[in-house]
Chain A
Amino acid sequence: MPSIVVNKYPLKRLIDEVGPVDQIAIEERVAKFTTRSIKKGSKIQGLNLAVSMVDLTTLEGKDSPGKVQSLCQKAQSPDSELNTPQVAAVCVYPAMVKHARKFLGDSPVKIASVATGFPSGQYPLRTRLQEVKQAVKDGTDEIDMVIHRGAFLSGQVQTVQDEIAAVAEACGEATLKVILEVSELETYDNIRAASFLAMNVLRSNDFIKTSTGKTSGNATLANNQVMLEAIRDFYLESGTPIAMKPAGGIKTAKQALHYLVAVKETLGDEWLNNRRYRFGASSLLNDLLMQLRKQDQGVYQAPWKFSDASSGY
């Protein structure tokens, strides 16, 4: 193809190449996941699996070492009465990484740090990369970066990809999670295109991630599905397995199970672990624990029995 055409509409060309997504049909598809009935043993297994996939998150201006300490405590021992697994990671701001490392030591619970001018990404590349390097130096295992949505939507897809590649390089051994901020990309076509854009410069078991949790739109089963299908197509084509993290808006155990059904039926067994799938969430963990205790003890639980629960009423 003549290069003048190639350069004219790079975003359209990217969408043409990875193919479109039909909104109504994919929303219909994911509605079927919600009709799966998960009972008894499979429910307990699913809830525990979900616990092990939680990136327990605190991303607030008022975060302090004390808050991070209690988060780390909860991450390592989610429930004193239940034999639940530890969560996958704690997810904090870069300045909190060194505190988290202090509290977690060499615990298997990972530290994930948002970086790259989270949540907007509207900072010079140089300082964004500097943030990544500092967080890695402070002991983070994982970096959750944001893509430059402004560049993506204005068609500068090569810039977006180059930046992701640069961040991946800055990560060194740390796992990279690329936040697409799906609510700002707006269409499923864009989400699928951005997924491929990122995956092409990611390494095995690096993540693509839906949202920052800082905009009005969060993870939904549908945008999760668009990304799972992109991961599947990319894997079958390239052999490189990419991991997935929906974030924001997943508050209940029931929702989490629906997401897991989507993983099971789209990517299969090899993605049903916390190396390949995570939930970015803060309140989800308590609901998972409530449901697990209900399964264990047979009675519905009051919220105040769970630490850091928001409701005391």
Chain B
Amino acid sequence: MSRIPVTKTPKAYVGGKFIRSESGRVFPLNNKRGQFLCNIPECTRKDTRNAVEVAGKAGGAWASRTSYNRGQILYRLGEMMEARAEELAQAVAITGAVTLAAARREVASTIDRVVYYSGWTDKYEQVLGNTNPVAGPFFNFSVTEPVGVIGVFASDSPSLLGLISQVLPIITSGNSVVALASSTNPYPAVLLGEMLATSDLPGGVLNILTGFRDELLETFASHEHIRGLDLSLDVDGKKQAEILAAESIKRLKVREQENTRYWSSEKAQSVYAIRSFLEFKTTWHPIGV
């Protein structure tokens, strides 16, 4: 008789810790034949609030790390993922929505994307910032700064590549993130949380919730401490999010709820994705004695 395997309880990843929802609620994840796979935490407004709080605390320290150090940490994340690539592929394919072969390609692209952004940490400033030759005796320069806590609704499909493609450019520059994983297949995001825990990314910089957009949209869009949103949403959701985000003038990027073709293409990675969640600060100083 074969050994009875130990099953894993999926958990959300907040502040470097693995949590259940404070509500105690879960929802079942089934494969495409309707067979039960596992229970996923159904995170709530309060879970979001807690995640924003830890993201707010972690962000400052993350942003003040050297660019070189941020690059090393993100590259280390790529290494972790590469080592567990097959496990990730299994997770992407777990519901049967994509084939294992497609899942393996997605994981490969995802790891490459992590490496792509890890290389930007100490370069985007050189491309986007500049000194300004003002007409006067002043030294004037514009530098970029992270915006703060950014809320992300990850793409449903691709479930892993979408999440990474949305989140990586945001944390590359020192922002911190509260992300809601794909609702249709949160399992790769759960696994990613486990890899984050063993990478050197400080706890709280990237927080991954599981649950449903409908339930959390209002909280994400209206929470004043969340300074920007990168949301994969349907049309109605977009409008509602933008209306609510207006109250605290959030930086906004809204996208299709799923767009495998886009996220799989090279066009989906860009220094301008980093730029979307940067502030520009211009400093004037006289040149004199």
Contact = CB atoms under 8 A, between A and B. Distances in A.
A187 B137 CA distance: 16
Interface stretch (B170-178, B214-222, B229-237, B281-289): B281-289
A1 interface: no
Interface string B260-289: 000000000000000000000000001111
Contacts of A27: 288
B138 interface: yes
A307 interface: no
Contacts of B287: 24
Chain A CB count within 10 A is highest, among B138, B286, B287, B288, for B288
A24 B136 CA distance: 9
Contact of B286 (A22, A187, A188): A22
Interface residues of B, number: 6
A25 interface: yes
A24 B286 CA distance: 6
Interface in B191-233: none
Contacts of B286: 22-25
A37 B63 CA distance: 52
Contacts of A22: 286, 288
B270 to A, nearest CB: 39
Contacts of A188: 289
B134 to A, nearest CB: 12
A182 B237 CA distance: 70
Contacts of B137: 24
A18 B238 CA distance: 60
Interface in A172-209: 187-189
Contacts of A24: 137-138, 286-288
A27 B138 CA distance: 13
A25 B289 CA distance: 11
A198 B207 CA distance: 66
Nearest to A26: B288
A23 B287 CA distance: 8
A189 B288 CA distance: 11
A189 B289 CA distance: 8
Interface string B128-146: 0000000001100000000
A252 to B, nearest CB: 25
Contacts of B138: 24
Which has the most chain B C-beta neighbours within 10 Å: A23, A25, A187, A188?
A23
Interface string A128-163: 000000000000000000000000000000000000
A260 B289 CA distance: 26
Q: Which of B138, B287, B289 gathers most chain A CB within 10 Å?
A: B289
A22 B285 CA distance: 11
A188 to B, nearest CB: 8
8 contacts: A22-B286, A22-B288, A23-B289, A24-B286, A25-B286, A27-B288, A187-B289, A189-B289
Given A23-B286, A189-B289, 13 more contacts: A22-B286, A22-B288, A23-B288, A23-B289, A24-B137, A24-B138, A24-B286, A24-B287, A24-B288, A25-B286, A27-B288, A187-B289, A188-B289
Interface of B: 137-138, 286-289
**6 closest Cβ pairs, A-B complex:** A23-B288, A24-B286, A24-B288, A24-B137, A187-B289, A23-B289
